[in-house]
Structure 1
Amino acid sequence: MSLFDALRDDPESVVSIIEHTNVDPAATEAEIRTLCEEVLEYGFRSAVVVPYHVELAQGILGDRANVVAVIGFPYGIQNSTAKRAEADALLEHADELDMVMNRTAFANGDDESVVEDVRAVKDAIDDRTLKCIIESPTLSPEEIRHAATLVEEGGAEFVKTAVGYDGPTDPVEIEAIRGGLDSDTEIKASGGISSFEEVLEMVEAGATRIGASSGVEIYESTR
């Protein structure tokens, strides 16, 4: 059974693919505690937080849910050495990392630097899952496919659509990402997803994970 069919048959199981997110740079410890408590209450797959809050989130969640840290956030303009150092510092408390592609290198046609940037972080985190954000709302379908191919070449397990600052993600972007990937690389859709129907659209297009600050609202919309 496909993920799409499984979700249609059991909408409440959507929690298993939602990465409940608060990457607001002004987020307080109290807000991150609430985020993590919601992860545990609803059974979301993980909590996604900025590096400052990773240790706090891990202390609350323990081994009951994953902690995902964002790095190179939000524009990906840091060099590979800086991103690798950031990743190294998070390994004690983070289960997965969501990095931002070097968007400046990509915009300048420097494919080698894009690939090496992803590879440097993947080498640093070894068997932990790496997702790479390409900021697909800012790209054409052709650029999306090309960015996805480069991210896959760098060794990331997932291509992620967006940080959520440059507009919502559209299912067409998911389809374009899939067009640039081999079958083993997965897709995380994020950016403006706030209902179960929107999740279904993303999954039908090819996404297998959903990043959302509206995890509770998505769950409630299944009932």
Structure 2
Amino acid sequence: MTVTAPALTEVTGSNAALRAFLHGLPGVDKVGADARAAALGTRSIKTSSKVFAIDLAISMVDLTTLEGADTPGKVRALATKALRPDPLDPSCPSTAAVCVYPSMVADVREIVAGSTVKIASVATAFPSGQASLKVKIDDVRDAVAAGADEIDMVINRGAFLAGRYLEVFDEIVAVKGACGDARLKVIMETGELVTYDNVRRASWLSMLAGADFIKTSTGKISPAATPPVTLIMLEAVRDFLATTGRQVGVKPAGGIRTSKDAIKYLVLVNETAGDGWLDPHWFRFGASSLLNDLLLQRNKMKTGHYSGPDYVTLD
């Protein structure tokens, strides 16, 4: 899709203008998107490329714990694992980030300070997004003040589905302003958006409002990330870059558990958006159990046999 940049500055002036723009985006061919994602998922990856892909996937993981039972000890252990995913192999890359609730940011910072591992924090009344704007902004500022490098916010899906697009836009803009130097990932909760057309509209809306990343899901509802939805988001960031000159990242989150799944997503990235997104700065996996399978597969390719389940930690 091609849209002139000056036109983009005009579409956010009113809800009617924004609605006209978003509903003027080309419709998504659901059958075509499903078929394209399925076909790319059958690509065969040879051994040398698989070794590279597994290390790349590890470096793209936002190692995540978002449970009510999280404790400082559990979070510090997870942060230690993010720094050295395989303590027996120093050549194993660190993960991209550790993602926790705002109250746990300081605990992560104690472990990863000075390293390449970023501190990501969910905010804005995660996962429902049902809170006042003041509460959401305070949530973000608390996380940033505690040391968060990245903020994962959730949009108001009720407002979006009701067509109150400017309300959603203004909220993202306000949250972006509260982030300071922290990068903003906008979670659309695609499983609640119902249609692929809505996924495309929410992607463009989030990017227009200043998102540094667009993210599929909170991981708290099903379906979470799926290849077709991620394909649509990758098309959106590709077209947004062509239109505005600004690159935006993509983060599928929830339900990605195996190395095979992760590699399918990397193929999807390369074939849809291009190799410019094959970098942790522009593509992430929101996951908890995925890292363990990547480590087991990595060790198997080095040693020729599978390690027992005690080779990795249970997080």
Report the equivalent of 1:33.
Answer: 76
* Paired residue type of 1:177: M
Contact between 2:216 and 2:230, CA under 8 Å: does it hold in 1? yes
1:114 Cα deviation from its structure 2 partner? 0.8
Report the equivalent of 2:285.
Answer: 210
Report the equivalent of 2:10.
Answer: none
* 2:252 partner SS: strand
* Paired residue type of 1:19: D
1:203 Cα deviation from its structure 2 partner? 2.5
Report the equivalent of 2:201.
Answer: 146
Q: Which has the higher strand share?
A: 1
Report the equivalent of 1:90.
Answer: 143
Match of 1:51 among 82, 102, 111: 102
Report the equivalent of 2:132.
Answer: 79
- Once residues 127 and 32 of structure 1 are traced to their aligned partners in structure 2, the CA distance between those partners, rounded to angstroms, is 24
- Give runs of aligned pairs for residues 1-223 of structure 1, distance below 5 A: 8=50, 10=52, 11-42=54-85, 43-64=94-115, 65-72=117-124, 73-92=126-145, 93-139=147-193, 140-167=195-222, 168-181=224-237, 182-183=240-241, 184-206=247-269, 208-214=283-289, 215-222=291-298, 223=300
* Paired residue type of 2:97: S
- Once residues 285 and 179 of structure 2 are traced to their aligned partners in structure 1, the CA distance between those partners, rounded to angstroms, is 22
Contact between 1:79 and 1:117, CA under 8 Å: does it hold in 2? no
Contact between 1:163 and 1:191, CA under 8 Å: does it hold in 2? yes
1:148 Cα deviation from its structure 2 partner? 0.6
Contact between 1:50 and 1:69, CA under 8 Å: does it hold in 2? yes
* Paired residue type of 2:82: V
Contact between 2:103 and 2:143, CA under 8 Å: does it hold in 1? no
Contact between 2:57 and 2:263, CA under 8 Å: does it hold in 1? no
- Once residues 116 and 221 of structure 1 are traced to their aligned partners in structure 2, the CA distance between those partners, rounded to angstroms, is 44
Runs of 5+ consecutive residues of structure 1 not aligned to the other structure? none
- Once residues 7 and 156 of structure 1 are traced to their aligned partners in structure 2, the CA distance between those partners, rounded to angstroms, is 32
Q: Deviation per CA, 1:75-117: give whole Å up to 9, x if none.
A: 1122322221111112131111101111121121110011111
Work out the percentage of aligned pairs sharing the same amino acid: 26
* Paired residue type of 2:113: G
Contact between 1:70 and 1:97, CA under 8 Å: does it hold in 2? yes
* 2:99 partner SS: strand
* 1:47 partner SS: strand
Spell out structure 1 runs of 4+ moving beyond 3 A: 4-9
- Once residues 285 and 144 of structure 2 are traced to their aligned partners in structure 1, the CA distance between those partners, rounded to angstroms, is 23
Report the equivalent of 2:37.
Answer: none
1:171 Cα deviation from its structure 2 partner? 0.6
Give the number of aligned pairs: 220
Q: Deviation per CA, 1:108-152: give whole Å up to 9, x if none.
A: 111001111111111111332100100112221111001111110
- Once residues 168 and 137 of structure 2 are traced to their aligned partners in structure 1, the CA distance between those partners, rounded to angstroms, is 14
1:9 Cα deviation from its structure 2 partner? 5.2
- Once residues 297 and 154 of structure 2 are traced to their aligned partners in structure 1, the CA distance between those partners, rounded to angstroms, is 30
- Once residues 166 and 34 of structure 1 are traced to their aligned partners in structure 2, the CA distance between those partners, rounded to angstroms, is 26
* 1:187 partner SS: strand
* Paired residue type of 1:219: L
Runs of 5+ consecutive residues of structure 2 not aligned to the other structure? 1-44, 86-93, 242-246, 270-276, 278-282, 301-315
* 1:131 partner SS: strand
- Once residues 64 and 77 of structure 2 are traced to their aligned partners in structure 1, the CA distance between those partners, rounded to angstroms, is 11
* TM-score, length-scaled by structure 2: 0.66
* 2:84 partner SS: helix
Report the equivalent of 2:21.
Answer: none
1:196 Cα deviation from its structure 2 partner? 1.5
Contact between 1:145 and 1:178, CA under 8 Å: does it hold in 2? no
- Once residues 131 and 120 of structure 1 are traced to their aligned partners in structure 2, the CA distance between those partners, rounded to angstroms, is 13
Q: Deviation per CA, 1:31-86: give whole Å up to 9, x if none.
A: 21221111011211111001111111111111211110100200112232222111
* 1:205 partner SS: helix
